Amino acid sequence: MAGVGDTEKWYQSLKDRANFLLVYIEEAHPGNSVNGRQVFAHESDKDRQELAELCTSSRNLTLPTLLDNLDNAVEIAYAAFPDRIYVLDSNGVVRHKTKPGPRGWDVAEPRAALDQLLKAGSAERR
Amino acid sequence: MRLILTFITIVMLTAFAVCSLVPQKMAAQTTPTVAQQARPRETPFKTAKEFDAVDVAAIRKARDQWISAFNSGNAVPVEFMFTSDAVFSLPVHASLPAGDSLASAREVFARFNARLAFDEPSEQFVTDGGDPRKISKLPWVSYYAAYTLTLTPKSGGDVIRSRGQFMTRFHRQRDGSLKVIRGPRVGDRASEFTLNFMKRDGKVQLSSLRGKPTVLIFGSYT
């Protein structure tokens, strides 16, 4: 996951004004080693949960984390593999969609999109 | 004499018994458990020879369809075959804006004569769990291959050539065909889902979060 440190800072700075959800999906590079541990494709819900916990704890991520089901239905619906960010407005409409990671995006773009949404929302309430 | 023969027999039987036991003990230490045998750990990357020939043919057909669409210089069949992803952003990354595939394709084809080719001997396939036999049953496959892209500016100037490794994610359609998957585009309502929290201490339904903007961050450990 690219830019995870920035993602956590982003969450911490705006968690009261927007919902943030990390959706843990299938491994982008099954067979690779991370921090000395070889990580394989998930073969059970338990595998996915264990690796999600390892990923978030080792990277100090405190965002609310969801587990996609093993059929990868949500990942497929969002074309989210290997990683990707969507920003939705308060009505659930997609307002920003990054290119797929890991080099297709950085947090700056979706962050700017969210700032714009929050600014527009503040203006509407006035 | 009988005593000597009896002794030799006992020694031989003992030696045989010991020799029989040693491999069994070693085997007990090295043979995987049933659970391990049932869940082989292996690389998910497979070559064409490791896949069912019918599936390989279907994947190559889908690949050839969108290469043909791309090389036709017409954005419409490209839009039909695949969407948003990095195929347009890789080689001309700095000069094209992020956007959906149709806008990107139109811009590429307006500015360049584009030629894309894959190196078939380099291709690899990935499907769920590293089991190539599952591909007929599963709705998706990732296709990796070395590519060569040539963009010749229509208005003159330097030809842009790009080579690298490219991944395409095909999604099986209801009619059995394979197409590159599409996510919701900007302006679409986000697809509904209900998923468990990581600690399995509750679920969240996306639509229940309306009222505030929502950021969805997809990813994995690797």
CB–CB contacts below 8 A, A to B: 210
Type and span of the H or E element at B18: helix B2-30
Domain A4-125, CATH homologous superfamily name and number: Glutaredoxin (3.40.30.10)
Pair B156, B114 in one domain: yes
Q: Containing domain of residue B23, as a range?
A: 2-31
Three-state secondary structure string covering A28-83:
CCCCCEECCEECCCCCCHHHHHHHHHHHHHHCCCCCCEEECCCCCHHHHHCCCCCC
Q: What is the pLDDT of residues A12-59, one digit of tens each?
A: 999 999 999 999 998 877 667 788 888 877 878 898 999 999 999 988
| Binary contact (A39, B222; C-beta < 8 A) | yes
CA within 13 Å, CB half, B62 = 24
pLDDT in tens, B56-104: 887 788 778 778 877 888 766 666 555 433 334 434 444 444 444 556 6
Residue ranges of domains in chain A: 4-125
Structural domain count, chain B: 2
Say if residues B104 and B96 touch (Cβ distance below 8 Å): yes
What's the CA gap between B196 and B205, in Å, rounded? 9
Partners of B75 in beta bridges: none
The reported pTM is 0.60
User: Does B191 fall in a domain?
Assistant: no
Residues of A in contact with B197 (CB under 8 A): 64-67
User: What is the ipTM for the molecules in this complex?
Assistant: 0.95
| CB contact at 8 A, A105 and A98 | yes
Residue B89 lies in a domain: yes
- Shared domain for B85 and B12, answered yes or no, is no
Please list every residue in chain B whose beta carbon sits closer than 8 Å to the beta carbon of residue A90: 210-213
